[in-house]
């Protein structure tokens, strides 16, 4: 039994109650086979992208009532968390990719894959325009259109260069940096290809620094490896590079090792800022001990072919240092094709494509967006949260009993895990203060105005869901389950009660479950931050990392390959050949 208060909240959310401005139509209405009109005709579902979100959708879709067309410039799924390991030869590129045709071959739905890139979306005529470099002519590009009834955007994002001069030309990325198809198709410019190119560049630098004719100054330059961005990917890459240099390359290139320098540049105050402070401190100290130069408050303003220029926040000084290889890893930006689509559907002013909580693109019919290419509209979430509080204020006194207030916070956290993430990270600062004040108070009530203040702190600082594989995979799975369920609802109109609800209430909104995050720090040590503020750093967390990532790999084939790569590294060391 729910307490009355909870019933009220549930009724208020379920009945709409003015909380949400969406229409009451089912978010998956477009999927209903209009059997009387189109007997036997299946809905055409077009999926753009074969990354975490797209692949998770395809893996979990079990309904046979759809014709699925998949368009992606990659005919494989790549396990991105192991990309940094590909850059130093710990794991082979082939071990972390699975052909998409393998993934979908035994699925009950009709599926076709097209290796191409979508360059325009026409939501009015429900068409996507695509092009491929699989051409019969030497420099021609094959172009074609695909019609859809339902479109799923899972195109991920590109790296954010913040328009810093020279970055696109001279830096390496682990995500596509330049626009893939301009001026011509270059389907190799993808994450896995980038990781392999980066590895080759590092080995090139070692080879060059070992040549007798190269000057001391030039050797110092080529052996200076710079990582820009102190997020998890940048930190992991710097740690992997350090391991490669000291475990393997130092023995193979004895004359080059003395020139080695690794620098990690971060514009903010500290590295790994989305992690617990204990992890940030440990990582910074470990890097100092390892000789990795961590420079915080250092913003890159220009990259030329041989020098990287930074502006130091404290002094305002511009410093220019020579480098051999630079890896750019500073967050993500919207792909141009998604940007054009946003302009088309009235989202020109937004930074990222907005969806509602059912992952429907706002301002557009029958289009869903998942993973890094979209975000759930935060404004609506905050309106909803405020309304939940107002509904709980049954007596209309502008204040809530402490018990009710705690229920409100619990309900909000359940419904919006991103709020919980924010509250966890900030140690419930504002809400804790509220609770403490109220406890000391005789009335034991929370004033609505004070709550609003605390809420506005959350509002201004709460970030949308992080752009991670965890979010993308859960969104793909959620959407596939809704599609499967839609079929069950139609097949069982008189069936179990849970299938009989109508409109959007047949489907609960997307809810993210956070399982924690890792930051590998090199030397067989990892930092793990798990739900409930549980932090573990060291060798045991590294073993946890090995087991979690092995279990998350997409197939038994890739699992076996990666485990054998890890074993090979332990026995024979990393491979330093350029192939």
Site for ligand FAD in 320-349 (CB under 6 A): 335, 337
Tokens 């799975």 belong to: 477
Binding pattern to ligand FAD, positions 76-115, x when CB under 6 A?
----xx-xx-------------------------------
Query: Between 128 and 203, whose beta carbon lies closer to ligand FAD?
Result: 128
Site for ligand FAD in 432-461 (CB under 6 A): none
Query: Between 373 and 448, whose beta carbon lies closer to ligand FAD?
Result: 373
Site for ligand FAD in 359-398 (CB under 6 A): 371-373
Report if residue 156 touches ligand FAD, rule: CB under 6 A: yes
Report if residue 73 touches ligand FAD, rule: CB under 6 A: yes
Contact 191, 329 (CB under 8 A): no
**Minimum Å distance from CB 55 to ligand FAD?**
7
Judged by phi (left if over 0) then psi (alpha if -120 to 50, else beta), residue 449 lies in: alpha
Query: Between 19 and 150, whose beta carbon lies closer to ligand FAD?
Result: 150
Query: Between 324 and 520, whose beta carbon lies closer to ligand FAD?
Result: 520
Q: Which range, of 1-9, 42-50, 214-222, 281-289, touches ligand FAD by CB under 6 A?
A: 42-50
Query: Between 131 and 574, whose beta carbon lies closer to ligand FAD?
Result: 131
Contact 253, 353 (CB under 8 A): no
How many beta carbons lie within 10 A of that of residue 423, not counting itself?
19
Q: Which of 117, 356, 447, 487 binds ligand FAD (CB under 6 A)?
A: 117
Q: Where would I find the H helices in 441-579?
A: 448-461, 469-491, 539-552, 556-572
Q: Is omega for the bond preceding 156 within 30 degrees of 0, making it cis?
A: no
Contact 480, 66 (CB under 8 A): no
Query: Between 53 and 300, whose beta carbon lies closer to ligand FAD?
Result: 53
**Minimum Å distance from CB 18 to ligand FAD?**
33
- Of 100, 152, 194, 113, nearest to 554 by C-alpha is 100
Query: Between 50 and 298, whose beta carbon lies closer to ligand FAD?
Result: 50
Q: Which of 53, 61, 152, 333 binds ligand FAD (CB under 6 A)?
A: 53
**Minimum Å distance from CB 491 to ligand FAD?**
30
Contact 201, 325 (CB under 8 A): yes
Tokens 């946890």 belong to: 544
**Minimum Å distance from CB 79 to ligand FAD?**
9
Query: Between 399 and 465, whose beta carbon lies closer to ligand FAD?
Result: 465
Binding pattern to ligand FAD, positions 279-318, x when CB under 6 A?
----------------------------------------
- Of 371, 359, 410, nearest to 389 by C-alpha is 410
**Minimum Å distance from CB 190 to ligand FAD?**
6
Report if residue 417 touches ligand FAD, rule: CB under 6 A: no
Q: Which range, of 67-75, 293-301, 501-509, 567-575, touches ligand FAD by CB under 6 A?
A: 67-75
Q: Which of 118, 192, 239, 392 binds ligand FAD (CB under 6 A)?
A: 118
Contact 172, 66 (CB under 8 A): no
- Report the b/e string of 545-554 with b at 16+ CB within 10 A: beeebeeebb
**Minimum Å distance from CB 311 to ligand FAD?**
26
Q: Give the three-state DSSP class for 540.
A: helix
Query: Between 350 and 429, whose beta carbon lies closer to ligand FAD?
Result: 350
What's the Cα-to-Cα distance from 73 to each of 115, 127, 133, 155, 352, rounded to whole Å? Answer: 5, 18, 9, 10, 22
**Minimum Å distance from CB 64 to ligand FAD?**
24
Site for ligand FAD in 177-196 (CB under 6 A): 191
Residue with the CB atom nearest ligand FAD in the bound state? 51
Tokens 């350029």 belong to: 578
CA distance linking residue 148 with residue 43, whole number of Å: 8
Q: Which range, of 74-82, 140-148, 217-225, 238-246, touches ligand FAD by CB under 6 A?
A: 74-82
Query: Between 408 and 562, whose beta carbon lies closer to ligand FAD?
Result: 562
- Of 382, 363, 328, 359, nearest to 471 by C-alpha is 359
Q: Which of 154, 308, 385, 537 binds ligand FAD (CB under 6 A)?
A: 154
Strands 224-228 and 367-369: unpaired
Q: Which range, of 13-21, 361-369, 407-415, 463-471, touches ligand FAD by CB under 6 A?
A: 463-471
**Minimum Å distance from CB 412 to ligand FAD?**
24
Question: E strands of 292-397, at which residues?
Answer: 292-296, 298-303, 307-312, 318-322, 325-328, 332-333, 353-355, 367-369, 374-376
Count of residues in contact with ligand FAD, rule CB under 6 A: 34
CA distance linking residue 508 with residue 494, whole number of Å: 20
CA distance linking residue 257 with residue 206, whole number of Å: 8
CA distance linking residue 464 with residue 466, whole number of Å: 6
**Minimum Å distance from CB 51 to ligand FAD?**
2
Question: E strands of 206-276, at which residues?
Answer: 224-228, 261-266
Q: Which range, of 151-159, 262-270, 403-411, 430-438, touches ligand FAD by CB under 6 A?
A: 151-159
Cα Rg for the chain, rounded, in angstroms? 26
CA distance linking residue 77 with residue 557, whole number of Å: 13
Q: Where on the chain is the footprint of ligand FAD (CB under 6 A)?
A: 48-54, 71-74, 80-81, 83-84, 117-118, 154-156, 174-175, 191, 233, 335, 337, 371-373, 467-470, 472
């Amino acid at each position: 039994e729910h307490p009355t208060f909870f019933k009220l909240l549930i009724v208020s959310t379920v009945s709409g109650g003015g909380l949400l401005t969406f229409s009451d139509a089912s978010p998956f209405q477009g999927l209903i086979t209009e059997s009387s009109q189109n007997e036997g005709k299946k809905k055409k579902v077009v999926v753009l992208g074969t990354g975490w979100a797209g692949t998770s959708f395809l893996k979990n879709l079990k309904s046979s009532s759809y014709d699925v067309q998949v368009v992606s410039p990659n005919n494989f799924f790549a396990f991105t968390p192991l990309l940094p390991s590909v850059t130093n030869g710990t794991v082979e590129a082939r071990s972390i990719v699975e052909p998409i045709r393998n993934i979908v071959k035994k699925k009950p739905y009709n599926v076709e894959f097209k290796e191409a890139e979508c360059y325009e979306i026409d939501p009015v005529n429900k068409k996507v325009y695509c092009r491929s470099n699989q051409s019969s002519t030497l420099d021609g590009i094959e172009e074609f259109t695909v019609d859809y009834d339902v479109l799923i955007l899972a195109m991920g994002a590109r790296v954010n260069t913040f328009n810093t001069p020279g970055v696109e030309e001279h830096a390496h990325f682990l995500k596509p940096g330049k626009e893939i198809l301009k001026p011509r198709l270059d389907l190799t410019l993808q994450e896995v290809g980038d990781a392999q190119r980066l590895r080759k560049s590092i080995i090139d630098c070692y080879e060059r620094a070992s040549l007798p004719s190269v000057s001391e100054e030039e050797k110092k330059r080529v052996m200076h490896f710079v990582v820009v961005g102190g997020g998890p990917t940048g930190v992991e890459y710097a740690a992997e590079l350090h391991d490669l240099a000291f475990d393997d390359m130092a023995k193979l290139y004895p004359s080059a090792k003395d020139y080695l320098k690794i620098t990690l540049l971060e514009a903010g105050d500290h590295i790994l800022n989305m992690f617990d402070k204990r992890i940030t401190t440990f990582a910074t100290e470990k890097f100092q001990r390892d000789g990795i130069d961590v420079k915080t408050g250092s913003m890159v303003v220009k990259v030329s072919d041989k020098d990287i220029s930074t502006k130091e926040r404290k002094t305002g000084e511009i410093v220019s240092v020579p480098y051999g290889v630079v890896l750019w890893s500073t967050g993500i930006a919207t792909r141009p094709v998604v940007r054009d689509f946003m302009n088309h559907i009235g989202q020109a002013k937004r930074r990222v494509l907005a969806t509602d909580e059912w992952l429907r693109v706002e301002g557009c019919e029958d289009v869903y967006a998942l993973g890094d290419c979209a975000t759930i509209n935060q404004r609506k979430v905050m309106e909803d949260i405020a309304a939940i509080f107002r509904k709980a204020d049954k007596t209309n006194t502008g204040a809530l009993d402490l018990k009710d207030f705690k229920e409100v916070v619990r309900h909000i956290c359940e419904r919006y895990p991103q709020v919980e993430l924010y509250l966890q990270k900030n140690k419930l600062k504002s809400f804790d203060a509220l609770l403490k004040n109220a406890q000391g108070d005789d009335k034991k009530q929370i004033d609505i105005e004070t709550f609003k203040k605390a809420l506005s702190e959350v509002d201004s600082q709460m970030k949308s869901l992080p752009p991670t594989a965890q979010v993308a995979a859960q969104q793909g799975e959620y959407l596939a389950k809704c599609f499967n369920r839609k079929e069950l609802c139609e097949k069982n109109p008189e069936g179990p009660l849970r299938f009989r609800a109508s409109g959007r209430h047949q489907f609960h909104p997307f809810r993210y479950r956070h399982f924690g995050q890792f930051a590998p720090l090199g030397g067989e040590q990892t930092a793990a931050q798990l739900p409930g503020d549980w932090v573990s750093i060291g060798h045991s967390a590294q073993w946890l990392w090995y087991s979690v990532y092995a279990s998350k790999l997409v197939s038994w084939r890739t699992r076996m390959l990666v485990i054998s790569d890890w074993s090979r590294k332990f026995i024979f060391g990393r491979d330093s050949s350029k192939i």
